[in-house]
Amino acid sequence: MKLTIEEVEHIAALARLELTEDEKQRYAEQLSDILDYAARLDELATDQIPPTASVLDMQLRLREDQSRPGLSQEEVLRNAADTQDKQFKVPPVFGGQE
């Protein structure tokens, strides 16, 4: 199979990645090659095989619902590109694409 440039653009939008025209070309080819390679999995009949999401046979663990100390607000904000009034600051949510 061969991914089209439109498909690559769609995937890039889902992944929130701005790609150059050159990157779109390259990824169309490389992803197609990798997916072709992955198609060899179809050689195996797996209708009766359960999927493995985790290799460990374990139960989900719950903890007591008790408050406990965490990071300070200052520590949480320290790595942010922009903050204001002890909050993360972001550009306008509306007005662009989608």
Partner 1 sequence: MTDLTQLTVRDSLAGLRAGDFSSVELTRALLQRIDSLDPEIHAFLTLTPDSALAAAQAADDLRASRPADLPPLTGLPLAVKDVLCLKGVRTTCGSKILENFIPPFTATAVQRLVDAGVVPLGKTNTDEFAMGSSTENSAYGTSRNPWDISRVPGGSSGGSAAAVAARMTPAAFGTDTGGSVRQPCSFCGTTGIKPTYGRTSRYGLVAYGSSLDTVGMIARNVADVATLFQYMAGFDPLDATSVQLPVPDYTLPETDSLKGLRIGVPEEYFIEGIQPEVEKRVRSAIAQMEAQGATAVPIHLPHTEYALPVYYLIAPAEASANLARYDGIRFGPRLGEGEDLWHMFTETRGRLFGPEVKRRIMLGTYALSAGYYDAYYGKAQKVRTLIKRDFDLAFEEVDVIAAPVAPTTAFKFGQHTDDPLAMYLEDVFTLPANLAGVPGLAFPVGPDSKGMPVGMQLMGPHFCEDLLFQVGHAYQLATQWHERWPEVTNQA
Tell whether residue 82 is a contact of partner 1 (CB under 8 A). Answer: yes
Q: Which of 38, 65, 66, 85 forms a contact with partner 1 (CB under 8 A)?
A: 38
> What is the C-alpha to C-alpha distance for residues 7 and 86, in angstroms, rounded to an integer?
41
Sequence-ordered list of residues with C-beta below 8 angstroms from that of 1, at least 6 positions apart, any chain: 32, 35, 36, 39
Residues that bind partner 1 (CB under 8 A): 8, 11-19, 23, 27, 30-31, 33-35, 37-38, 40-42, 44, 46, 49-56, 58, 60-61, 63, 71, 75-76, 78-82, 88, 90-98
